[in-house]
Amino acid sequence: MIDTTPRFTVDGTRTAPTNWDSPDMRKRIARRYAAERRFKYLGMGAVILSAAFLAFLLYVMIGNGLSGFQRTEVALDVDFPALTGGTGAAALTGPSAENTAASLDLPGVVSVAVEAQYGETEVPIFSSGAWQIVQKRLLEDPALIEARQTMWLPASSELDIAAKEGGSAQAERLLAALRAGDAVQTGFNSSFLTGSDATDPAQAGIWSAFKGSLMTMLVTVILAFPIGVLAALYLEEYAPKNRWTDLIEVSINNLAAVPSIIFGLLGLVVFLNWFNMPRSAAIVGGLTLALMTMPIIVIAGRNAIKSVPPSIREAALGIGASPIQVVFHHVLPLALPGILTGTIIGMARALGETAPLLLIGMRAFIPTPPGGLTDPSTVLPVQIYLWSDEVNRGFVEKTSAAIIVLLLFLLSMNALAIYLRNKFETRW
Amino acid sequence: MAGAGLLFLVLGLGLIAWITGRARAAAFVKADRTNLNSLPSYHGWYMALFAVVPPLLFLAVWGAIVPALQTDMVLSAPAAQALPMDGFARASILSEARAIASGAQDTAFQPMAEQFVPLYRAAIAHYNWIAVAATVLLLFAGGTYAFTRLKPDFRARTKVERVVMGALLTASLIAIVTTIGIVASLIFETVRFFQMVNPIEFLFGATWNPQSTVTPGGDNGFGAIPLFWGTVFIGAIIAMIVAIPLGLMSAVYLTQYARPAVRKWMKPILEILAGVPTVVYGYFAALTIAPALRDFAAAVGIPGASSESALAAGVVMGVMIIPFVSSMADDSIAAVPNSMRDGSLAMGSTKSETIKKVLIPAALPGVVGGVLLAVSRAIGETMIVVMAAGLTANMTANPFASVTTVTVQIVQLLTGDQEFDSPKTLAAFALGLVLFIVTLLLNLVALRVVKRYREAYE
Give buried/exposed letters for A148-186 (b at 16+ CB in 10 A, else e): ebebebbbbbbbbbbbbeebeeebbebbeebeeeebbee
Q: Tell me the pLDDT band of A222, cut-offs 50, 70 and 90.
A: very high
> Does A375 map to a domain?
yes
**Min Cα–Cα distance to chain A from B411, Å:** 7
Q: Does A62 touch chain B (CB under 8 A)?
A: no
ipTM here: 0.87
Candidates B380, B249, B33; CA nearest to A43 is B249
Lowest mean pLDDT among A145-159, B208-222, B405-419: B208-222
Q: Does A350 touch chain B (CB under 8 A)?
A: no
| Per-residue model confidence (pLDDT) at position B65 | 81
Q: What is the pLDDT of residues B47-58, one digit of tens each?
A: 888 888 888 888
- A136 and A224, same domain (yes or no): no
Q: Tell me the pLDDT band of B1, cut-offs 50, 70 and 90.
A: very low
pLDDT at position B116 over 50? yes
> Does A262 map to a domain?
yes
CATH 3.20.20.70 fits B225-457, yes or no: no
Candidates B158, B75, B83, B89; CA nearest to B119 is B75
pLDDT at position B381 over 50? yes
> Which comes out higher in pLDDT, residue A224 or A98?
A224
Task: Kindly list the domain boundaries of chain B, sorted by start residue.
Answer: 2-154, 225-457
Considering A143, A160, A188, which residue would you say is the last residue of a domain? A188
| Per-residue model confidence (pLDDT) at position A363 | 80
> Does A202 map to a domain?
no
DSSP string, B56-74: HHHHHHHHHHHHHHHHHHH
Q: What is the pLDDT of residues A6-17, one digit of tens each?
A: 666 666 667 777
CB contact under 8 A, A238 and B174: no
Q: Which residues of A touch B272 (CB under 8 A)?
A: 54
Lowest mean pLDDT among A72-76, A93-97, B392-396, B407-411: A93-97
Q: Are B429 and B308 in contact (CB under 8 A)?
A: no
> Which comes out higher in pLDDT, residue B157 or B211?
B157
End-to-end CA distance of chain A: 54
**Min Cα–Cα distance to chain B from A22, Å:** 18
| Per-residue model confidence (pLDDT) at position A10 | 66
> Does A55 map to a domain?
no
CB contact under 8 A, B174 and A227: yes
Amino acid identity for residue A113 in this structure = A
**CB atoms < 10 A from the CB of B395, how many?**
15
CB contact under 8 A, A384 and B257: no
| Mutate which: B158, B174, B353, vs A, most A CBs within 10 A | B174
End-to-end CA distance of chain B: 60
Q: How far apart are CA B315 and CA B309, in angstroms?
A: 10
Q: Which residues of B touch A54 (CB under 8 A)?
A: 269-270, 272-273, 276
CA torsion angle A43 A46 A51 A54 (round to 10): -160
Q: Tell me the pLDDT band of B342, cut-offs 50, 70 and 90.
A: very high
> Does A144 map to a domain?
yes
| Mutate which: B38, B41, B155, B179, vs A, most A CBs within 10 A | B179
Percent of chain B with pLDDT over 90: 31
pLDDT at position A418 over 90? no
| Per-residue model confidence (pLDDT) at position A9 | 65
| Per-residue model confidence (pLDDT) at position A4 | 59
**CB atoms < 10 A from the CB of B33, how many?**
7
Q: Which of B286, B319, B420 sits opposite A53 (nearest CB)?
A: B319
Q: Which of A251, A257, A374 sits opposite B176 (nearest CB)?
A: A251
| Per-residue model confidence (pLDDT) at position A106 | 78
> Does A251 map to a domain?
yes
| Per-residue model confidence (pLDDT) at position A298 | 94
- A373 and A405, same domain (yes or no): yes
Q: Does A64 touch chain B (CB under 8 A)?
A: yes
With vertex at residue A221, the alpha carbon angle to CA B175 and CA A292, rounded to the nearest 5 degrees, is: 40
Considering A188, A223, A247, which residue would you say is the last residue of a domain? A188
Q: How far apart are CA B151 and CA B174, in angstroms?
A: 36
pLDDT at position A3 over 60? no
Q: Tell me the pLDDT band of A130, cut-offs 50, 70 and 90.
A: confident
Candidates B211, B184, B204, B202; CA nearest to B423 is B211
Q: Please, which residues have CB within 8 angstroms of residue B267's CB and are 6 or more apart in sequence?
A: B254
Nearest Cα residue in chain A from B270: A51
pLDDT at position B183 over 60? yes
Domain count, chain A: 3
φ, ψ of residue A167 in degrees (nearest 5): -125, -145
For the purposes of burial, counting CB atoms within 10 Å of the CB of B288, is it exposed (0-12), middle (13-18) or buried (19 or more)? middle
- A258 and A302, same domain (yes or no): yes
Q: How far apart are CA A51 and CA A39, in angstroms?
A: 19
Q: How far apart are CA B101 and CA A207, in angstroms?
A: 30
Mean pLDDT of all residues in A404-417: 91
Q: Which of A46, A349, A414 sits opposite B245 (nearest CB)?
A: A46
CA torsion angle A216 A220 A222 A223 (round to 10): 140
pLDDT at position B287 over 60? yes
- A87 and A10, same domain (yes or no): no
pLDDT at position B378 over 70? yes
pLDDT at position A158 over 50? yes
| Per-residue model confidence (pLDDT) at position A53 | 94
| Mutate which: B71, B170, B182, vs A, most A CBs within 10 A | B182
Containing domain of residue A123, as a range? 69-188
Mean pLDDT (chain A) is 85
Percent of chain A with pLDDT over 90: 38
Q: Does A33 touch chain B (CB under 8 A)?
A: yes
Mean pLDDT (chain B) is 86
> Does A112 map to a domain?
yes
Q: Does B436 touch chain A (CB under 8 A)?
A: yes
Q: What is the pLDDT of residues A287-344, one digit of tens each?
A: 999 999 999 999 999 999 999 999 999 999 999 999 999 999 999 999 998 899 999 9
CB contact under 8 A, A388 and B373: no
How far apart, in Å, are the Cα atoms of A347 and each of A144, A231, B282? 47, 17, 21
Q: Residue A185 is inside which H or E element, if any?
A: strand A184-188
- A108 and A218, same domain (yes or no): no
CATH number of the domain encompassing residue A383 = 1.10.3720.10
> Does A345 map to a domain?
yes
Residues within 8 A of B (CB atoms), A 232-251 only: 233-235, 238-239, 247-248, 251
Q: How far apart are CA A202 and CA A155, in angstroms?
A: 8
| Per-residue model confidence (pLDDT) at position A215 | 92
CB contact under 8 A, A46 and B246: yes
